[in-house]
Each structure stands twice: as structure tokens, then as C-alpha cells.
Structure 1
């Protein structure tokens, strides 16, 4: 997916928790509520083959997923970062994401190494929603999850001195003729 939902969501506008009117008691969030929230944030999204919502950026994709049985259902905001790292870079990468995980409460970030030796990063936030949650809490947590995914990407680029202009279609630096 290469759709860029304007790169930066409207996190300051209508998506603020205090502007969401809802029931006074707990709600059990569902995909329709998430779609409404993403619309309020002015984020483009798609529904993937497994039925999960995904908001694709140029450098990562954020999925909004519900898993588990009704009373124990978990809502997960999981971001898959598209930047490819080599297996040789994995020790430095792990040291860096360990530092992130120590310094921040969330999202927690981990690595995924593919059979071809390519290392990619994934961040994740979860909350149990099956027994009900405050609508304000759900909205605030979801908005914060999106913000944190963006912040992690920016932090990683700065921390590792990466080129933010990498072409993710080819994984080449601009002007790189090595391919």
C-alpha cells in the first residue's frame, strides 16, 4: 500500500476526546467506531483481506484490529514500518529499540526478521475492550497510538541518522544507482 493519508492526521481537530459525545457508561468499541474516529482524524483507510482496518502512510502502515472472544476482546493498534534493515544492523537496531522501550510506555517496538535476512520493525499498543471502556478513553488512546507511531518513525530516523527520503518502493536512497 502506498497511499499517503496526507502524512499527518488531523489530530488537533474533531478527533479530540472531549468532542465525542456518547453514552455516560462504558462502550464496547467496534470497527464502525474506529472508522468514525479515522474519518474524524481525516485519515484514509482501507479494509484488508482479513477484515482489519489499515491506514497506510508512505513509510508505514497502521492496523486497527480486534482479536479474541467478546468478554476478553483486545483492540490492537499495530504499525508495520516499511524501512528495510539488514541482518548486520540488527544488534544496533535492537539496542536502539530497547532504548525506546525503556524510555516510553508505548508503543512497544519489536523486530521481525524475514527469511531473506531483512529486518523490519513493528510497534504495538493494546487494550482490553470486551468488558467495555469509556468512550473518551478509547478515543484518546487510539489518537495517542497514531501519534506515537508517527513519533517513533521520526525518532528512529533521527536517532540512527537514517535518510527520511528513502524510496520505499525500491529501498534506495535518492540518487542511488546501485540497483
Structure 2
């Protein structure tokens, strides 16, 4: 069983040293915070055994060092890939329609947003969405119908443009 009080004491007595150590290892304060946070999370998960360890702070330092090494290796892989392919091209700004659509989607209930995104962005069938959400297919159909209706009401200009474009074609 984990003893929260003893872990809290361990954290309070070691966190500043661990952050300084993480900074020395990583060379970046934000990276050090991430490394130390992950190390303490791992320590908490194993606190039942680690509390009895003769040197839990040494264990924590080892975890920070290994996490830093893993991240360094991952970044080295990214650097090699970038040196071969070059940096990615500039990302164009979002279209005005995309911004309007995103704002309208934020006004929908989460279930409707999720159903619309899965159906239209991931081309998932109603049955697949129902299975993933753990609801009947009729519920998904309702979410899609209500979501489309609400989007049409929130975006009347876009709906009219879409209809006009279909009439011309």
C-alpha cells in the first residue's frame, strides 16, 4: 500500500534538488520539469517498494537520467530525419470557413461534435461510431442529425454557399 504522507515528505525534501539535477542533465528548464515530473510519477506508482529502497533519491536520479537519454535519442532521430528531408514547409493559415466551422463546432454538445468528426473526418460508419461510443446506432444517428441541423443554423451563409455551388455544378 502506498503511504501518501511519506511520499509527500520525500517529494518536498527532494524536488528542488531533482529539478536542479534535471536541468543539469537536460540543459533546459522546461525539459527538466518534464523529466522530473515523470520521474516522480513513476516513483509514486512504485512507492510501496521504493519507500523501502536504501536510496530512493538515487533511484529517482537514475530515472531522470534515463528519461533524459531516451528523449535525447528520440530528438537525435528527429534531427537526422530533418537533415535528410529538410524542415517542413510553412503551414498556411486556416481558411475563414475553417475558423467559422471550428467556432460553430465548439457550440455543439461534445457527443454531437465527436460523432460529426468521426463520421466526416474519419469516414466512420454509424455502426462503427456506435460501437466506439458504446451507444445504440439510433443515438448516433440522432447526434449526427441534430449536429448537422445545429451547424446549418449556426452557419447559414456557408450552407447557402454550398447549395449555390451545387446548383451551379
User: TM-score, normalized by length of structure 1?
Assistant: 0.25
Higher relative contact order (CA 8 A, sep 6+): 1
Higher-Rg member (1/2): 2
User: TM-score, normalized by length of structure 2?
Assistant: 0.26
The structure with the greater share of residues assigned to helix is 2
The structure with the greater share of residues assigned to strand is 1
